[in-house]
Structure 1
């Protein structure tokens, strides 16, 4: 593998003859095509592939949320890249029958904004979720006008619901109505605060599982 600053046509991506060009960590990279052989991946490599597949399938529907509020970009690594790395390392469990997401470890946002205190959620009639929390406005960088945001996942339907501006921090309560066909579903719930018109957010809180009525 070699790096280069300026080629004949500058950096390139893709295959040209037996050379592959790409960009890695801010550098232009050239490498030769691998020779084919009887390569057999190790057990650890197969496990890592399955973890990666599990995480990507779970996170893909909420990429827009992660791209806004999951930490800060690091060089060529997007917020989504950072979220993927975190969940592969921290939020995948081996069930004995395969890999699955540990919902208690999932983060929909990660940042330095003051987070949720005394957050709780309860199901109500009409596929409604009622949220409550303490008003910690003025503590640290928390503002009364920070937005309360939620992400809800229905594993039985493999569907997400997200709302990034349900109400403001000082409201201390809010309600979210989910689709009627979600009735009876067990849903996983995460919530956080974000600062409007910025990409500053709190590290999200897992609020648990409830059954919709």
Structure 2
């Protein structure tokens, strides 16, 4: 049973059929009670949940990095949710139940700043990953003062090492230290740029999988 508090045009409290009334922070509202789902584990739902879990495992360790990498796409949602949305549709490969991240198409930074040219990564010194790129300053929107956004993802451990204020685009190189226990393990290397004032971000480039020396 529902109660109309202030006359026929006043707030409704309770349930009328499948309509539920209430008050939140002094605001009267009505909402439709959702229909019951006969089978909440249909093939399509299970498939989508499997994709979701795959992307979630990938992105959760880099939540802080995504606050910068997806800062321009956080319209009415968090940066993390924006990254989830993009990678669910673009960053997954395989078929149920064997989904995995398609690193080459996944994005951990997104934007229209001119991106990476000639990026490469290698590890020849213990616990260090060396990253190189071509200085393409002056091409498109690229500036010498753009900062690098670098992320190393260790899928075995579900951990990341990153910087959101790396060397400038003009530097062309950076060495990132990783924990000694990463020796012999693979890290996926992503490189992007952010403008000096933080107003522009580039799509990242995936520089491949590197075995840590």
Aligned to 1:120: 120
Cα separation, 2, equivalents of 1:99 and 1:36: 29
Residues 135 and 172, structure 1, Cα contact 8 Å, conserved in 2: yes
Higher alpha-carbon Rg: 2
Q: CA RMSD in A?
A: 2.6
Aligned to 2:109: 109
Aligned to 2:182: 182
Aligned to 1:90: 90
Cα separation, 2, equivalents of 1:135 and 1:122: 18
* Residue 165, structure 1, aligned to residue 165, structure 2: yes
Written as runs of structure 1 = structure 2, the 5 A alignment for 1:183-198 is 183-198=183-198
Cα separation, 2, equivalents of 1:34 and 1:189: 44
Cα separation, 2, equivalents of 1:75 and 1:86: 13
**Comparing 70-79 and 119-128, the one that deviates more:** 70-79
Cα separation, 1, equivalents of 2:149 and 2:40: 45
How far has the Cα of 1:94 moved from its partner?
A: 2.6
Q: Any idea what SS the aligned residue of 1:60 has?
A: helix
Cα separation, 2, equivalents of 1:43 and 1:145: 50
Aligned residues: 195
Q: Any idea what SS the aligned residue of 2:203 has?
A: coil
Aligned to 1:153: 153
Q: Could you say if the C-alpha distance between residues 37 and 47 of structure 1 is closer, same or farther in structure 2, counting changes exceeding 3 Å?
A: closer
Q: Any idea what SS the aligned residue of 1:64 has?
A: helix
Residues 69 and 199, structure 1, Cα contact 8 Å, conserved in 2: no
Runs of 4 or more, structure 1, over 6 Å off, are none
Q: Could you say if the C-alpha distance between residues 75 and 208 of structure 1 is closer, same or farther in structure 2, counting changes exceeding 3 Å?
A: closer
* Residue 33, structure 1, aligned to residue 33, structure 2: yes
Aligned to 1:81: 81
Q: Deviations over 1:15-73 (max 9, x none)?
A: x855388xxxxxx9742333556434321121112211221222122122222232634
How far has the Cα of 1:91 moved from its partner?
A: 1.2
TM-score (structure 1 length as normaliser): 0.80
Q: Could you say if the C-alpha distance between residues 30 and 99 of structure 1 is closer, same or farther in structure 2, counting changes exceeding 3 Å?
A: farther
TM-score (structure 2 length as normaliser): 0.80
Any stretches of 5+ residues in structure 2 without a counterpart? 1-8, 23-27
Aligned to 2:133: 133
